[in-house]
Amino acid sequence: MSFYEYRWWKEAIGYEIYLKSFKDSNGDGIGDINGIREKLDYLKDLGITLIWLCPFYKSPMDDNGYDVSDYYDIDPSFGTLDDMKALIAEAHEKGIRIIADFVMNQTSDEHQWFIESRKSKDNPYRDYYIWADGRIMDGVEVEPTNWASFFGGSCWEKDLLTGQYYMKIFSKKMPDLNWSNPNVRTSMQDIAKFWLDLGIDGFRVDAVAHIGRRKDLVDSTIETNDKYKPDWRMFSNLPVLFDYLKEFNQEVWSKYDIMTVGEVGGGATADEANKYAEVKDGSMDMVFNFDHCWHNNVWDMKEIGDPIKVNLVSLKQVWKKWQKGQYGKAWMPIYWLNHDQPRLMSQYGNPDKPFLSGSMLGQALYLMWGTPFVYQGEEIGMTNYPFKSVNDFNDVSVKTTYNLHVINGDANEEEFIHFTGLRSRDNARTIMSWDDSKNAGFSEAKPWFNVCPDYTLVNVKKNLTDEKSIYKHYQKIFKLRKDKHYLNTLVYGSYKQLLPKHERVYAYVREADKLILTVTNFFDTTEPVSIRGYKVSKILLSNYEDSKTTLSNLTLRPYEAVTYLIEKR
């Protein structure tokens, strides 16, 4: 396959659904599969042709479904296998494909494999997981290595039954699978086949960067004050995982007309990402990186009350790195946020000017190269939740770090809540605001999680009735991407960034059979800019009615976003 060859997923418009918070159909306060069925037309009208469905498998919900106890069944709180079959059939009828989140790195500790595995050292399932002895240091037993878990604390947990430690890079209820065991690999392949045969159109492969492990258990030597070192190189992007993926692709994925998108996350370089998804030799179709996340000050804020400041220049640098580094080599998704990030409107937008800032952000991103993935609620401008106490959070990683740093450490409670509130994944997991009625139209019953207090103003119903709304602007963006005159340029065209040093304006040209320029002002300011070498043929899309067309002498108003069909001078 060549980079430019047609595959349905290159032209798709994706939408991520965090099932638990999307729509409750049966009045128990928990989002479910039938809730999605009710909203398929809503998604279709937005222009969506692909759904990424977060884990729906049977789960004790320690990490809301990323801890799977049975891969062959649906969690009863989400519905039944029949509901899933009906969802797939109805979505397909509307031209929407569905990919499932596939959790390959770990299972729940309540999965049958782990229940067996922990029983004894010679249990046939022992090697499904990664077990090691502790070490004695200064007369005290410590973990096999000093590696940290992503969710706080050590990445090892001692199991009293056999006295050994099992590896868990997430929560202690999420033991890591041992992919060097061929039985693990074939068991996982069987699961994938089961869902593909049921009609699923592919997978978003969770935490795929971590499935290859090093054999030697050496301590990390990175210098931090922490007892456990966040040295992700110890178990991320290691060469052996590409063998596992190659085999998986040969045995399963390559036999179906599907798409696979891996979660590769932070730290991976464009070259590393190319290894996963290279057109020639890669085993996956594309991978998510996290590089565009956090280009503001929320991780180094000093004082409660400090304003959020966006660093557009560094954001533009990472776009340049990926848009140029992977173009022609490996396909790529583009997205603003997912269920592990705070809300876009609160991160990079302006909740006081929701339409202008929200429409600008959509237009800036989704006319770049790559397959778009909208995260539920982004299209209506949902905002972060005002967390006041640790009880307002649900995320197991927040609870773990709270216990470590506030209860048993020396972190200040008020600061912990404030700063965690700005960064927390729970911001994305508040229930979807459908309308201004009770429980934001999500459920008859009290929802399982927070309702955003601004739901009377920020909701789907209002977006659908307002003349100008983010939802309607997103509709226009996706219509433009699919327009037969521009599709070739917007989907397959190259990318060139203009004005790279400008601190407030982001501009880029896409080029194939046509030339399309997008110019956006990321701030609440008026920006004079001059772009030379091109002239405007026409305006294709703008979030203002009367945008200027003299490129050498433009004045962008607050959050103005304009896309032009242009010609070279």
User: Is 379 marked active-site?
Assistant: no
Query: In this structure, are residues 191 and 244 in contact, taking their beta carbons and an 8 Å threshold?
Result: no
Q: Which of residues 321-350 bind ligand GLC (CB under 6 A)?
A: 339-340
At its nearest, how many Å lie between ligand GLC and the CB of residue 106? 6
Is 26 among the residues that bind Ca ion (CB under 5 A)? yes
Residue list 243-302, contact with ligand GLC (CB under 6 A): 263
Q: State the virtual CA torsion across 111, 113, 118, 124 in degrees, nearest 10.
A: 170
Q: Pick what 275 binds: ligand GLC, Ca ion, none; C-beta below 5 to 8 Å, kind-dependent.
A: none
Tell me which residue has its CB nearest to Ca ion.
Answer: 32
Does position 66 interact with ligand GLC (CB under 6 A)? The reply is: yes
The listed partner (ligand GLC, Ca ion, none) that binds 285, CB under 5 to 8 Å by sort, is none
Decide whether 143 or 206 has the Cβ nearer to ligand GLC. Answer: 206
In the complex with Ca ion, which residue's Cβ is closer, 35 or 262?
A: 35
According to DSSP, the residues that pair with 565 across neighbouring strands are: 516, 538
- With tokens 């994938």, the residue in question is 192
Q: Which CB, 24 or 63, lies closer to ligand GLC?
A: 63
Tokens of 164: 């050994």
| 63 contributes a contact to ligand GLC by CB under 6 A | yes
Applying CB under 6 A, among 12, 50, 98, 207 the residue interacting with ligand GLC is: 207
Question: Would you say 23 or 168 has its CB closer to ligand GLC?
Answer: 168
Contact (CB, 8 A) for 35 and 79: no
- 19 near ligand GLC, judged by CB under 6 A: no
DSSP 404: I
Is 97 or 339 the residue whose CB approaches ligand GLC more closely? 339
Question: What six digits make up the tokens of 502?
Answer: 């400008």
For residue 107, which of 172, 182, 19, 17 has the smallest C-alpha distance? 172
Cα separation values, 209 from 137, 174, 363, 420, Å: 31, 16, 30, 25
Give the separation between CA 360 and CA 557, rounded to whole angstroms.
11
Q: Is 402 exposed, middle or buried (0-12, 13-18, 19+ CB in 10 A)?
A: buried
User: What residue 63 binds from ligand GLC, Ca ion, none (CB within 5 to 8 A, per partner kind)?
Assistant: ligand GLC
Tell me the residue type at 205: V
CB of 340 to ligand GLC, least distance (A): 5
Q: How far apart are CA 119 and CA 161, in angstroms?
A: 7
Beta strands 131-132 and 286-289, pairing class: unpaired
| Total chain residues near ligand GLC (CB under 6 A) | 9
Report the residue number whose CB is nearest to ligand GLC: 66
Please name the residues in contact with 224: beta carbons below 8 A apart, sequence gap of 6 or more. 230
Closest to ligand GLC by CB, 22 vs 66, is 66
Among 87, 128, 133, residue whose Cα is nearest residue 111: 128
Our CB check for ligand GLC shows the closer of 65 and 354 to be 65
Q: How far apart are CA 375 and CA 281, in angstroms?
A: 30
What does 19 bind: ligand GLC, Ca ion, none (CB cut-off 5 to 8 Å by kind)? none
Based on CB atoms, which residue is closest to ligand GLC, 111 or 339? 339
When asked if residue 103 is in the footprint of ligand GLC (CB under 6 A), the reply is: yes
- The binder of 111, among Ca ion, ligand GLC, none, by C-beta within 5 to 8 A per type, is none
Count residues contacting Ca ion (CB under 5 A)? Answer: 5
Closest CA to 244 of 194, 197, 174, 177: 177
536 binds ligand GLC (CB under 6 A): no
Rg (CA), the chain: 24
Q: Rounded to an integer, what distance in angstroms lies between the CA atom of residue 59 and that of residue 108?
A: 7
- 110 makes contact with Ca ion (CB under 5 A): no
Of 453, 422, 425, 421, the C-alpha closest to 440 is 453
Give CA–CA dist 324/305, Å, rounded.
37
Check if the beta carbon of residue 3 is closer than 8 Å to that of residue 322. Answer: no
CB of 442 to Ca ion, least distance (A): 10
Give bridge partners of residue 535 from the DSSP assignment: 567
The residue from 143, 206, 231, 560 that is catalytic is 206
Shortest distance in whole angstroms from residue 76 CB to Ca ion: 10
Decide if residue 38 touches Ca ion (CB under 5 A). no
Q: Report the SS3 class of residue 408.
A: coil
- Please list, residue by residue across 286-306, b when 16 or more beta carbons sit within 10 angstroms of its beta carbon and e when fewer do: bbbbbbbbbbbebeebeeeee
Shortest distance (Å) from residue 66 CB to ligand GLC: 3
Which residue in the list 63, 201, 263, 560 is annotated as catalytic?
A: 263
Q: Are 546 and 562 contacting, i.e. CB atoms less than 8 angstroms apart? A: no
- Which of 3, 10, 28, 142 is the binder for Ca ion (CB under 5 A)? 28
d(CA 432, CA 442): 7
Q: Whole-number minimum distance, CB 94 to ligand GLC, in Å?
A: 27
Closer residue to Ca ion in complex, CB, 24/379? 24
Q: Taking CB within 5 to 8 Å according to partner kind, which of Ca ion, ligand GLC, none is near residue 66? A: ligand GLC
Q: Are strands 371-375 and 333-335 parallel, antiparallel or unpaired?
A: parallel
263 an active-site residue? yes
Shortest Å, Cβ 170 to ligand GLC? 5
* Cβ-based nearer residue to ligand GLC, 210 or 481: 210
Side chain identity at 194, as an amino acid letter?
F
From the list Ca ion, ligand GLC, none, partner contacted by residue 32 (C-beta under 5 to 8 A by kind): Ca ion
The least CB distance from residue 229 to ligand GLC, in Å, is 19
Residue 340 contact among ligand GLC, Ca ion, none, beta carbon within 5 to 8 Å by kind = ligand GLC
User: Minimum Å distance from CB 3 to ligand GLC?
Assistant: 27
> Least distance from C-beta 74 to Ca ion, angstroms?
12
Please provide the distance, in angstroms rounded to a whole number, between the alpha carbons at the two ends of the chain. Answer: 35
Q: Does 170 bind ligand GLC (CB under 6 A)?
A: yes
By CB under 6 A, name the binding residues for ligand GLC. Answer: 63, 66, 103, 170, 206-207, 263, 339-340
By CB under 5 A, name the binding residues for Ca ion. Answer: 24, 26, 28, 30, 32
Residues taking part in catalysis:
206, 263
